[in-house]
Structures are given as C-alpha cells and as structure tokens.
Amino acid sequence: MEALKKMAGVTAAQYVKDGMTVGLGTGSTAYYFVEEIGRRVKEEGLTIVGVTTSSVTTKQAQGLEIPLKSVDEIDSIDLTVDGADEVDKNFNGIKGGGAALLMEKIVATPTKEYIWVVDESKMVEHLGAFKLPVEVVQYGAERLFRVFEKAGYQPSFRIKNGEKLVTDMQNFIIDLDLKCIENPLEFGRMLDETVGVVEHGLFNGMVDKVIVAGKAGVTVLEAL
C-alpha cells in the first residue's frame, strides 16, 4: 500500500512547474508528494512557493527547505495536491481523516487546479463508509453532538490521548458514521447551515483530477 501511495504522490509532483504557488496537502499519500517536491527543490533547483494545509505539513516542508507562505499572503494558488479518504464516481470526496479538513478546504478554495492522490481502495460507489468528519467550535459541541445523535448520524468525538482532539484551528471534530451518503451535495448544504459547524469533510465538486495508484499502475482521472 505504501508503494502505491508513493507512486501517486510522485506522479502528482510532475504537474508542478517552476514559479508556481503550490498547495501542499496533508496525509499519508500527500506526504510522498511533499517529499518529491522537496527532492526537486534540492536536486533540480525547482523554484516554488508552498502553502501548507496543516502544522504537520508545515513541519515536513520546513525540514525539506521548501519556501513557504501563509494562505493570507497569496491571492491564488496554481496547484494543490492532497489526499482523500473516499472518492465517488461523481468526484465528490470525503477528507479529514488527518483532522486538517478546515485548512485543506481553505487552501483548496483559491486553487486553480486541484488534484487528489489516492490508492485504488479509496475509490467507492457511494460515500459514507468512511466516517464523515465535522469540525465544530468547542462552545456548544456537546449539544451539537446530541443533535447529530438524535438525527441518527451515530456521532463520535475524535479522541487523541484520551482527550477530545483539538485541531490546528482549536476546534473539535465529530465523526459521523453514516454508512452511505445518498446525496452528498444536500447533506453538505445541511451541515453548512448548522450553527456551530465550522466545516465538514465533504469536498463536493471541487477536484479537477484524481491520480489513482493501483496494482496495474497509475491512472489519472479527469473530472467532467
């Protein structure tokens, strides 16, 4: 599996050209993309500016001496490469397994070309087998948890070291065990309108390409 992830990440790095502002994703597959960009900066003299999607990626990029800017210092991003936890046939996806969904969506929004790198196990018929992360403000989080519970979403707080995980943006994550999301667009709109929800892990209609690594090699899927 790690070999497939590396294959996808290295393939995505080929889309990066000199002078680009590049969104650097978070997660186990995006890790290999960032590593390859670091190698190209060092060995090929690639000149780019990176914009990171988490404190983890910031640390990785700094270690590779990739020049960085904050998202507040840029107006647009040429290319962002990130992972995804699930991708359906309509190119909607679930992200946030690494707890970076808010920063990931903020970086994806001003991006001209958005690419996901995944292994073939992430391609699904319907979203929802992977729990849907919902980032919520700390104030009122328990009440919101009960609202989700009453709605039958089987919520659970994301836990780390025995405590509720706190994201880079100082919020909690409630994971919804939905099994199957029949209409991701409608469900995403409902969450957007829910007070206390900062962001959710449904990335609907945002991606331009999905690079899928499988046993037979790498496939590049283009969104219509």
Run means of pLDDT, 10 residues per run, the chain, 224 residues:
92 98 96 98 98 98 98 98 97 97 98 97 97 98 98 98 98 98 98 98 98 94 90
pTM of the model: 0.95
Contact call for residues 145 and 107 (beta carbons, < 8 A): no
pLDDT computed for residue 77 by the predictor = 98
pLDDT computed for residue 31 by the predictor = 97
Distance of alpha carbon 161 from alpha carbon 165, whole angstroms: 8
73 class by beta-carbon count within 10 Å (0-12 exposed, 13-18 middle, 19+ buried): exposed
Query: DSSP label at 71?
Result: G
- At residue 76, the 3 state secondary structure works out as coil
pLDDT computed for residue 113 by the predictor = 98
- CB count within 10 Å of CB 214 equals 15
pLDDT computed for residue 27 by the predictor = 92
| CA 11 distance to own-chain centroid | 18
Residues 6-27 as b or e (16 or more Cβ within 10 Å = b): bbbbbbbbebbeeebbbbbbbb
Residues 6+ apart with CB under 8 A from 3: none
pLDDT computed for residue 211 by the predictor = 97
Strand segments (E) across 83-121: 86-87, 93-94, 111-119
Catalytic residues: 104
